[in-house]
Copies of this chain bind each other. A is one copy, B any other.
């Protein structure tokens, strides 16, 4: 695992724990709803749902969300080509404003898949 990927994962874990330590039911439920949505096959399989989460994150231009769904997509069995095609659709729908996010996403994808080794 690259240093950047480790850092991303560790910060995410630490702050999620911090957020859930709050006595706030709304935050807790939103986090568990997020897990419910993505963590298992349902009508759509996990891989497809992760790709849906990925494109939604990309057109909304949230780098951390994109990174997260790239990592989870790979884990759920998506190939690099499926991920790139998903992101290319996000580029057409979301426009050239998406390009800087696509650059960072592709760098992250290369780290996750070890393509930059």
- Interface residues, chain A, with chain B CB atoms under 8 Å away: 11-12, 15-16, 18-19, 22, 24-27, 29-31, 33-34, 36-38, 42-44, 48-49, 51-53, 55-57, 59-65, 79, 81-82, 84-86, 88-100, 102-104, 106-107, 110
Contacts and interface: CB of A to CB of B under 8 A. Distances in A.
B37 A26 contact: yes
Nearest to A67: B100
- Interface majority SS on A: helix, strand, loop or mixed? helix
Given A59-B60, A65-B99, A92 B19 contact: no
Given A27-B91, A60-B59, A89-B49, A34 B82 contact: no
Nearest to A115: B18
